[in-house]
Amino acid sequence: MAFTVKNNIRWVGKQDWELREFHGSEYSTHRGSSYNSYLVKEEKIALIDTVWAPYAEEFVANLAKEVDLGSIDYIIANHGEIDHSGALPALMARIPDTPIYCTANGAKSLRGHYHQDWNFKIVKTGDSLDLGNGKQLVFVEMPMLHWPDSMATYMTGDAVLFSNDAFGQHYASAQMFNDLCDPVELHEECIKYYANILTPFSSLVTQKIHEVLALNLPIDMIATSHGIIWRDKPTQIVEQYLKWADNYQENQITLVYDTMWNGTRMMAEAIAEGIRKADKDVVIKLFNLSNSDKNDVLTHVFKSRAILVGSPTVNNVMLPHVAALLEEMTGLRFKNKAAAAFGTHGWSGGAVDRITKRLGDAGFRVLGPGITAEWRPTDNALADGVRFGEAFIEQLGSTGQDKADTAACSCSGKMRCQTCSWIYDPEQGDAAQGVAAGTTWQDVPETFLCPVCFMGKGDFVPA
């Protein structure tokens, strides 16, 4: 289904209508996905990315119908992950000496995946490649959006930004341009993609977008690696990313829980009733984790200003679905959100205390010790749940700052990167980034990046 994107740019990727799970089984793709590869045919011919490995032979065969493979001058690898690079072994078997332009981390990633020492050409931000006809490809490193090797490629003349994973979505569509797609579906897939994949890197998203905007490059089109291409007001998705990256929340409270004999479900509904009594305008969502898609739930957590997490106690601990979601939330590092725990127990408790601790570890502002009820909740216990919901709204309205953020801002000691555990030592500073020895954490510039994994200051906590 190759088609013209703009002028001499052709889409030569693959629509995967049947895909329902991605990143192993970590991400649900209810509407499939696409692997977008672009063929640029100017005086020089460049191929930007390939497709996922299962479609490698199909990709190479279709590409050969578009162009003599031997005439491809350059291969651009914006990202080494297998859904982008999976067809490279099949393609390089045909054209083994063709240069592959990528970041230094990109070459490391590709060597790690395929154990081949292809003709890698290492590029950095600002490097360019002449295509002839007055057009160039300009490279922009985008580390940790969402891998260390990531980069974007900008094509002058046509003003097209090949944005890699940024601004994309897992969404198969025969209408490959944003102005032809259902806007509701498109928004749902965009925010789900951001919430589940890019949230931990929000500080870097903001920094990199401002860096690109400062170049004052015209952008007529954003050609993503997954999903649709933005040609109608393409910067609308850039503006949306800036909003999502800025501690995003809507007027929503989400309750997530698992239950055995419906006691915890009854508590969830009672708490929701109390929330509704106290705030008629707030959007309330309830999800039973045993029959809800976790990525959809995490999207609602991302949208919420507060969440409540519930589980019955089994063997003194919470149910596995709840524990797994808390682990996911810890990795996503949501900001600017409050939380509390609830649940039921029989002869012994433990789950609510554990949930409360895990919510704090995940960076939520925890509002109290939570609420628990014995066995199947009585009418009195459910009434307590209603009052708990009302009190939760009252507490939520009070001012308060994320304790982790407060500690991070005021700490004068060592700081640890939550992603890779690298330690910033004020006594040593970081000369490579112009941070002198003796610089306390609060005086480190906001542009500081972890030298190992490239995460920003917002990823650091006291060591």
Is it the case that residue 25 has pLDDT exceeding 90?
no
CA–chain centroid gap for 184, Å, is: 20
pLDDT value, residue 145: 76
If you count them, how many residues does the chain have? 463
Matching CATH number, 252-397, of 3.40.50.720, 1.10.3720.10, 3.40.50.620, 3.40.50.360: 3.40.50.360
CB 191 within 8 A of CB 254: no
Q: Which of 170, 226, 321, 345 is an active site residue?
A: 226
Q: Which of 16, 42, 49, 81 is an active site residue?
A: 81
Among 354-358, 400-404, 441-445, the range scoring the smallest mean pLDDT is 400-404
pLDDT value, residue 143: 82
pLDDT value, residue 400: 44
Question: Does residue 81 carry a catalytic annotation?
Answer: yes
Banded pLDDT at 85 (limits 50, 70, 90): very high
Question: Does residue 384 carry a catalytic annotation?
Answer: no
- 3-245 and 252-397 have identical folds: no
Banded pLDDT at 211 (limits 50, 70, 90): confident
Q: What is the 3-state secondary structure (H, E, C) of 141-184?
A: ECCCCCCCCCEEEEECCCCEEEEECCCCCCCCCCCCEHHHCCHH
Q: What is the mean pLDDT of residues 154-180?
A: 95
Is it the case that residue 408 has pLDDT exceeding 80?
no
H/E segment holding residue 320? helix 320-332
Interhelix angle for 351-361 vs 320-332, to 10°?
Answer: 10
CA gap 262, 434 in Å, rounded:
57
Question: Does residue 374 carry a catalytic annotation?
Answer: no
Q: Which of 16, 42, 49, 83 is an active site residue?
A: 83
Q: Which CATH superfamily is domain 3-245 in?
A: Ribonuclease Z/Hydroxyacylglutathione hydrolase-like (3.60.15.10)
Interhelix angle for 294-303 vs 320-332, to 10°?
Answer: 50
Q: What is the mean pLDDT of residues 104-117?
A: 95
Q: Which of 42, 84, 141, 146 is an active site residue?
A: 146
C-alpha distances in angstroms, 328 versus 200, 301, 324, 362? 11, 11, 6, 9
CA gap 303, 300 in Å, rounded:
5
Q: Any idea what DSSP says for residue 409?
A: H
pLDDT value, residue 42: 98
**Which one, of 50, 37, 99, 96, lies nearest residue 73 by Cα?**
99
pLDDT > 70 fraction of the chain, expressed in percent and rounded? 97
Instruction: Describe the strand order of the beta sheet including 74-76 as a list of residue ranges.
Output: 3-6, 9-11, 38-41, 45-48, 74-76, 100-102, 120-122
Q: Which of 27, 74, 193, 194 is an active site residue?
A: 193
**Annotated domain spans of the chain:** 3-245, 252-397, 408-462
**Which one, of 76, 56, 60, lies nearest residue 9 by Cα?**
76
Question: Does residue 165 carry a catalytic annotation?
Answer: yes
Q: 408-462 has which fold? A: Rubrerythrin, domain 2 (2.20.28)
Q: What is the pLDDT of residues 278-320, one digit of tens each?
A: 999 999 999 999 999 999 999 999 999 999 999 999 998 999 9
pLDDT value, residue 329: 95
Q: Which of 79, 84, 170, 300 is an active site residue?
A: 79
32 in the Ramachandran plot: left (φ > 0), alpha (ψ -120 to 50) or beta?
A: left
Q: Which of 165, 279, 390, 402 is an active site residue?
A: 165
User: SS3 breakdown of the chain: % helix, strand, coil, rounded to 5?
Assistant: 35, 25, 40
CB 269 within 8 A of CB 252: no
Question: Does residue 193 carry a catalytic annotation?
Answer: yes
pLDDT value, residue 411: 55
